[in-house]
Amino acid sequence: PGTNDLIALAAGGADVADDLLELRRTQADLDSPATMVYTSGTTGEPKGAILTHRNFVGQVRNVAAAYREVVRADGNTVIFLPLAHVLARGLQLICLAGGMRIAHVSDPTEVVDSLGVLRPTFLVVVPRVLERIRNAAAEKADGARLGALWRAAVRTAVSWADHLEAGTRPDAVLHARRAVFDALFFRRLRARMGGRLDYILSGGGALDPDLSRLFRGIGVPVIEGYGLTETTAPLTGNLPDDIRSGTVGYPLPGSTVRISEHGEILARGVGIFSGYRDPAHTAEAFVDGFFRTGDLGRLDDDGRVVLEGRLKDVIVTSNGKTVVPQPWETRVEADPLVAHAVMVGEGRSYLSALLVLDRAATEAWADAQGIRLDAVSGEGVTPISEPGLVAHLQRSVDAANARVSHSEGVRRFALVFTDLDDTRLVTPTMKIKRRALLERSGNAVDDLYR
């Protein structure tokens, strides 16, 4: 209530003449700016991207055409990403154009509890939400002394999804195992998500392929896609009847993708923005008429896009080794206690990492182990050196190191707590702003090289 409420806003327009209102309503054409959306700034300064009405209209028409099974008049969804994010903005328009009902939930922590009431037919999430659902299910199973059964259920779901992706028939044993685990776990998980969920769309970050397979095996397929502020949300996407875990799918109708000689994903199409607010930024953003996404990737044998990290995140060590951090980081972030893994080592002789802990999950783990963690307060970065916790996460680091070459493995790591609700540190899609974290973590990083 007060000067910034909607009633005050309406009152402020009381003296606007009808003819002026009509002029403002009708004077924009397809090539007029519709909005300016700032990039998240995970690797640098946020930039104001100017998106036109043509960008949004093109995306609405083309995305709706590609996802008719998902966007339908008898469906509904929940949007919990802030509308400052282009994915939420584009999704809202696509749903409105398709006649779908939309509910908005402002607090991401309330989303799961709201699903039983709102009962969506599809949901757009960032990978972290799916990780939380999986981790909560695992915790509940452990609490009921069913942890071993839950882990067997996960393996069964992943195997089931492997058959679906390969187009092969599961054998009778797998059929029977899945039926048992469906009764024990999967049916309850689907009910927890509202009971009507046909598909989950995931974007805003890399999704662990096994996490995608888990949800598909449970009976809720995850359609992973890829886009940026500058592409007006989706650029590529898996299709409902053609999902390949570990990829972000094909270029969507109206869009073209190619890979540069340096491995950068280049894009052209209806959703590509008209430029940045600063013309100097615009000049650097295009090559041969294609937008430079800043993301590294490749095309698989079928033409699907596979993401391989951010160009600006690439680390060059002092011995000249070039390392893309994302594969290692994604594997470590599969651990429920790790909110974000950030590899460091630019200009250094070996690689290290900061593991930003999920406070609630870590404190619950510590309580279960009878370990007391030091109180943490303030907005800085607090190192955590509890030996039991370090030993526990050493296993996740070792497992990630085993999946990459020796020179791409991390030799030392530090555990830290920080405020993950701080928008100066974390984007609306729950990605860490690497530069901001490293600026706050100077001493912790320096200690890794002493």
Question: CATH no. for residue 214?
Answer: 3.40.50.12780
Residues 67 and 196 in one domain: yes
Residues 226 and 139 in one domain: yes
Residues 372 and 388 in one domain: yes
Angle at 343 between CA 361 and CA 155, to 5 degrees: 50
Phi, psi of 73 (to 5 degrees): -65, -25
As for how many domains the chain has, the answer is 2
Among the candidates 307, 338, 365, a domain finishes at 307
Residues 382 and 297 in one domain: no
pLDDT for residue 376: 57
What 438-447 contacts at long range (C-beta under 8 Å, 24+ apart), as own/partner pairs, is 438/342, 438/344, 438/354, 440/380, 440/381, 441/354, 441/381, 441/416, 443/383, 444/354, 444/381, 444/383, 444/414, 444/416, 445/344, 445/352, 445/354, 445/414, 447/383, 447/414
Identify the top-confidence range among 86-90, 149-153, 199-203, 207-211.
149-153
In a domain, 8, yes or no: no
Residues 301 and 376 in one domain: no
78, β-bridge pairs: 103
Average pLDDT over residues 41-50: 74
In a domain, 23, yes or no: no
Residues 286 and 353 in one domain: no
Please enumerate in sequence order all residues whose Cβ is within 8 A of that of 276, keeping only pairs 6 or more positions apart, or say none.
47, 48, 49, 50, 282, 285
Q: What percent of the chain has pLDDT over 90?
A: 55
In a domain, 300, yes or no: yes
Please enumerate in sequence order all residues whose Cβ is within 8 A of that of 81, keeping only pairs 6 or more positions apart, or say none.
87, 88, 91, 124, 126, 204, 428, 429
Helix (H, G, I), strand (E, B) or coil at 129: helix
The CATH number of the domain holding residue 336 is: 3.30.300.30
Quickly tell me which residue has 């899945």 as its tokens: 178
Residues 90 and 128 in one domain: yes
Which residues span the domain enclosing 427?
A: 314-447
Among the candidates 282, 307, 332, a domain finishes at 307
Residue 2 DSSP symbol? -
Average pLDDT over residues 15-23: 94
Average pLDDT over residues 58-74: 90
pLDDT for residue 175: 95
Please enumerate in sequence order all residues whose Cβ is within 8 A of that of 313, keeping only pairs 6 or more positions apart, or say none.
43, 324, 325, 326, 434
What mean pLDDT value characterizes the chain? 89
User: pLDDT, tens digit, for every residue of 209-246?
Assistant: 999 999 999 999 999 999 999 999 899 999 998 999 99
**Nearest alpha-carbon partner for 199 in 249, 241, 244:** 241
Among the candidates 283, 307, 331, a domain finishes at 307
pLDDT above 60 (res 270): yes
In a domain, 4, yes or no: no
In a domain, 260, yes or no: yes
Residues 116 and 193 in one domain: yes
In a domain, 2, yes or no: no
pLDDT for residue 385: 86
In a domain, 367, yes or no: yes
The b/e string for 238-252 (b: 16+ C-beta within 10 A; e otherwise) is bbbeebbbbbbbbbb
pLDDT above 90 (res 203): no
Residues 271 and 321 in one domain: no
Residues 281 and 335 in one domain: no
**Nearest alpha-carbon partner for 397 in 358, 352, 359, 345:** 352
Residues 298 and 182 in one domain: yes
In a domain, 3, yes or no: no
Q: How many residues in the chain? A: 450
Residues 264 and 350 in one domain: no
